[in-house]
Amino acid sequence: MLKYILIPVIVVAMGFVVVSLAKGIIAFLQTTRDDLESGGGNGPSPMQLKQNEMMFARIKYQALAVIVVAVLLAASR
């Protein structure tokens, strides 16, 4: 019974991982050469902040998926 709940949770978490990865790649591609070559004296650009935000979101959702898989494996034993 538990697997019928956890498997959709894994699929949703994997979907969130893909979406946040795609958003991070899009933010990376929108970063201009000027942003990359600037000395960084005025702080990170909005696109760099967006990349960072998407990286942390991806890590969070991957961790959720791993935890759900571990619970599913533990419950099946």
**Given phi > 0 = left and psi -120 to 50 = alpha, else beta, which region is 57?**
alpha
Question: pLDDT grade, residue 45 (50/70/90)?
Answer: confident
pLDDT of residue 29: 87
Termini Cα distance of the chain: 14
Residues 3, 72 contacting (CB under 8 angstroms) = yes
For the chain, the structural domain boundaries read 2-33+44-76
pLDDT of residue 42: 75
For the chain, what is the mean pLDDT? 87
| Mean pLDDT, rounded, for 31-48 | 72
Q: Give the pLDDT confidence of 13-32 residue by residue, as tens digits.
A: 999 999 999 999 998 888 87
